[in-house]
Amino acid sequence: GAVVSQHPSWVICKSGTSVKIECRSLDFQATTMFWYRQFPKQSLMLMATSNEGSKATYEQGVEKDKFLINHASLTLSTLTVTSAHPEDSSFYICSARSGVDIGETQYFGPGTRLLVL
């Protein structure tokens, strides 16, 4: 299957700092990328959908000024958690797909564990 990478895999930061997470599709062009967060023992919750070159579409309840998403190219999307607080500590997973067919497989990155102290 296609490969999606995320960097960093782990980040620990102080409260109030901003953290940037990168998501790359390594062997395909991702027309659409998704960002999810997952709390321990819970399911994945979609935060936002982004298409290359356009603004991200955020899910209800997700603060777009806090979670800045940039999808600058067909292989790179970034999520910046601005002024992170302990409640932002979570597992963030990006996902990417190359086509628009309903059956198009969505490939996931390995995730980034964020701990805000």
Tokens, residue 5: 């990478």
- Closest CB to other proteins among 80 and 106? 106
What mask, x for binding other proteins by CB under 8 A, covers residues 26 to 65?
------x-x---x---xxx-x--x-------x--------
- Closest CB to other proteins among 65 and 102? 102
Q: Considering only 17-25, 67-75, 78-86, 107-115, which stretch makes contact with other proteins by CB under 8 A?
A: 107-115
Q: If you ran DSSP here, which 8-state letter would residue 59 be given?
A: P
CA 99 to chain centre: 18
Query: b/e for 39-69, b at 16 or more Cβ within 10 A?
Result: eeeeeeeebbbbebeeebebeeebeeeebbb
Q: Considering only 14-22, 62-70, 77-85, 109-117, which stretch makes contact with other proteins by CB under 8 A?
A: 109-117
d(CA 78, CA 98): 17
Interface residues with other proteins (CB under 8 A) are: 1, 32, 34, 38, 42-44, 46, 49, 57, 91, 93, 95, 97, 100, 102-111, 113
